[in-house]
């Protein structure tokens, strides 16, 4: 099943002078980096919860 972690994503509407720097190809790369960092945050949250439950046992 999908959870909030799985379906969350960011999109940006870049206009004006910034659009010359943030091309669609660059935005695709930024999205991939975001997804990697988001997965790492999910792992950190899961490990933290596991650690807390083991400490209290």
pLDDT at 17: 93
Three-state DSSP string of 21-35: HCCHHHHHHHHHHHH
pLDDT at 2: 58
57 vs 15, more confident: 15
pLDDT at 6: 77
Q: What is the pLDDT of residues 3-51, one digit of tens each?
A: 777 777 888 888 999 999 999 999 999 999 999 999 999 999 999 999 9
Residue 42 CA to residue 4 CA, distance in Å, equals: 10
* Virtual torsion, Cα 35, 39, 41, 44, nearest 10 deg: -160
pLDDT at 5: 74
| Domain spans in the chain, listed from the N-terminal domain onward | 4-56
């Amino acid at each position: 099943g999908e959870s909030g972690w799985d379906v969350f994503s960011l999109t940006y509407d870049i206009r004006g002078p910034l659009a010359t720097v943030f091309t669609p190809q660059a935005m695709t790369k930024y999205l991939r980096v975001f997804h990697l960092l988001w997965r790492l945050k999910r792992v950190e949250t899961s490990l933290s919860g596991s650690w807390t439950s083991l400490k209290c046992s």
